[in-house]
Structure 1
Amino acid sequence: MRRVSRLFVAVLIGVGLGMLIVTDNALHPARQLAPAPRAADYVARNTASSWEPGQVTTSDGVTLHAWYFAPLKPNGSVVIALHGVGDTRLGMLSHATFLLTDGFTVLLPDLRGHGESGGAIVTYGIKEAGDVRYWVDWLFQKRGTARLYGIGQSLGAAVLLQSLSTEKRFRAVVADSPFATFEEISYDRLGQISRIPPLTFWPLIRLGFIYAQLRYGLDLRQASPSVAIRATSVPVLLIHGARDTNIPLRHSEELHAANPNGTQLWVVSGAEHVASLATSPERYISNVIRWFNSHQ
């Protein structure tokens, strides 16, 4: 009996330590190298635009970097485009290309903890949402921005939505494949890895969140696009792939239900995670452009 008890305790300790490692890995995703300027040159050549680097420093001392693209014939509107977790601004070049072609000025930042930007950890919107405000200030104070819009994918979409809690200068935004809350996607992710019903992981999720609070001072329950979207008056177009198994469609459905009058949901048939542009490029581009142009 003692042997069984010891084995049970050992298993619990092992699982608990494993969860701490999982939490640390989530806060420190594999980091890609800083994007090479030749990628910006390529986009500029193909869209008859120019580009220059941008930089801001946050109140906690993190330096953030971006590329600022200006089309040959600007339409007076600027779009901030935010990439997903573990990616860089390179992941939004396809979006920048069609926006520049239509006359939009585009800012492509690397989120904190990604690419060229500083930041030791990724906080899933807790700090990144505030970073958006620094970029908005930069655009309005140094670039004379008149109309501002935003588009993001996955983590970038979740960050963009969370920024709406304090940033009111967006005319409209597009959120492609966002999560509703970090807590909910945490359950989904563990369920995807183990094939065990997500609610089984409640003690482990709680342990991981307590660890993040104690070690990093982060309350990951605050990473909640759902809370932000309920209160915002900024129009939001939600886009989600019907076959998304990374962040299930349910997340965008919940976000739409949280503010049905201020949001629209477009479900892209056959699209997997952040693949709606590739799956239905003509409709994607026309829907995004129409959404921005209808909120001037």
Structure 2
Amino acid sequence: MKKKRWIKIGIGLFSVILIIDIIASFYFYNLAIERNVKDFLVGNADLDVSAEAMNVFTEGDWREWNQNQDFEPIEMTSYDGLKLQGYFLEAEEPTNKTVVLAHGYLGGASDMGLYGQYYYEELGYNIFTADLRGHGDSEGDYIGFGWHDRLDYADWVDLLVEKQGPETEIVLHGVSMGAAAVLMASGEDLPDNVKAIVADSPYSSVYDLFAYQLDRMFHLPAFPVLPSTSFVTNMRAGYTLTEASALDQVKETDIPILYIHGNADTFVPTAMTKELYENTNSDADIVMFDEASHGEAFVTQKDKYVEKMKSFLTKYME
């Protein structure tokens, strides 16, 4: 009788844990992946930046510059039927060089004007940027964290080559989630027109990022929440947290990559970029910025940032 009783208690406890886990899985999917209003990052100390960076991000003259440019809207239908919105700005002087800029989580194409102004005014590049699926004016009811976006960027590249001609040279430059997206794209069959990638503050995989944030923000272990959340994500958005891996993709790439990360970044651990760099199949370089938090190095240490970037691009952009 005691044995049967303990079996019933065990089954009851397992059932309760299973129900809690299922509820938690849908909760975290809704929190991080489903397209909706998100305020859970408000007040997150890991996203604090210096006063200097905040002032530039919110009130920098790049915003006025961006608004005054005559970007050409370009619409594309994704492989799975979503209408995606892109924007193209032709350089002042004819050039075959184009930068494709990829924004971060909850951002939009216009956010990349901070970098676009430099590429346009100082390097003389054409600029292309787009709202990732689930962001801005692009369709999509979920955030892909770079995984499905990698295929979107492959299609955007093909469109740009068709638009600009076979001699066009392209650099992909992404920040945070955008950096992960272009790294994920690097492992795809991209045309030889893609000469280089700049990845600023990327994560190694969605699963690893979520595991880190689950512990940091909620003090919860990855198991069993993330495997079940991954199941829900696959069911609702068509990808798993484990397959969405920039690390796996850079092991296959032949495109040169410059990695950039701040040593004070506690939102995406610096160790992730180091792991990506150490496992990159192609030519790669890495630069770390002391005292820089997540995605702020371009503002707080711009001279060093652009010096390294220009040197890297000069080497690979003919």
TM-score between the two structures when normalised by the length of structure 2: 0.82
Flag the 1:180–1:261 CA change in 2: closer, same or farther, 3 A.
same
2:164 and 2:150 map into 1 onto residues whose CA distance is 21
Q: Could you tell me which of 183, 197, 203 is aligned with 1:173? A: 197
Q: In the alignment, is residue 295 of structure 1 matched against residue 316 of structure 2? A: yes
How far off is 1:108 after superposition? Answer: 1.1
Amino acid at match of 2:65: Y
Amino acid at match of 1:112: R
1:35 is matched with which residue?
none
Q: Among the aligned pairs, what percent are the same residue?
A: 24
2:58 is matched with which residue?
none
1:25 is matched with which residue?
31
Amino acid at match of 2:205: T
Q: Which runs of 5+ in 2 are unaligned?
A: 39-61
Residues 31 and 115 in structure 1, CA contact (< 8 A), matched pair in contact too: no
Flag the 1:7–1:260 CA change in 2: closer, same or farther, 3 A.
closer
Q: Could you tell me which of 24, 39, 43 is aligned with 2:66? A: 43
1:26 and 1:7 map into 2 onto residues whose CA distance is 28
Q: In the alignment, is residue 189 of structure 1 matched against residue 209 of structure 2? A: no
Q: Could you tell me which of 27, 40, 58 is aligned with 2:78? A: 58
Flag the 1:72–1:224 CA change in 2: closer, same or farther, 3 A.
same
Flag the 1:126–1:270 CA change in 2: closer, same or farther, 3 A.
same
How far off is 1:105 after superposition? Answer: 0.7
Q: Greater Rg, structure 1 or structure 2?
A: 2
1:217 and 1:57 map into 2 onto residues whose CA distance is 18
TM-score between the two structures when normalised by the length of structure 1: 0.87
Moved more, 211-220 or 172-181: 211-220
Say which SS state the counterpart of residue 220 (structure 1) adopts. Answer: coil
Amino acid at match of 1:288: M
Residues 242-296 of structure 1 show CA distances to partners (whole Å, capped at 9, x for unaligned) of 1111110011011011027621111111111111112211221222222222102
1:36 is matched with which residue?
none
Q: In the alignment, is residue 91 of structure 1 matched against residue 116 of structure 2? A: no
Q: Could you tell me which of 86, 89, 93 is aligned with 1:73? A: 93
Q: In the alignment, is residue 161 of structure 1 matched against residue 159 of structure 2? A: no
Q: Could you tell me which of 109, 134, 140 is aligned with 1:113? A: 134
Amino acid at match of 1:279: T
Task: Report how many aligned residue pairs link the two structures.
Answer: 284
How far off is 1:16 after superposition? Answer: 3.6
Say which SS state the counterpart of residue 202 (structure 1) adopts. Answer: coil
How far off is 1:73 after superposition? Answer: 1.9
2:33 and 2:79 map into 1 onto residues whose CA distance is 20
1:140 and 1:75 map into 2 onto residues whose CA distance is 13
How far off is 1:149 after superposition? Answer: 0.6
Say which SS state the counterpart of residue 54 (structure 1) adopts. Answer: strand
Say which SS state the counterpart of residue 293 (structure 2) adopts. Answer: coil
Q: Could you tell me which of 212, 234, 242 is aligned with 2:233? A: 212
The CA RMSD measured in Å over matched residues stands at 2.5
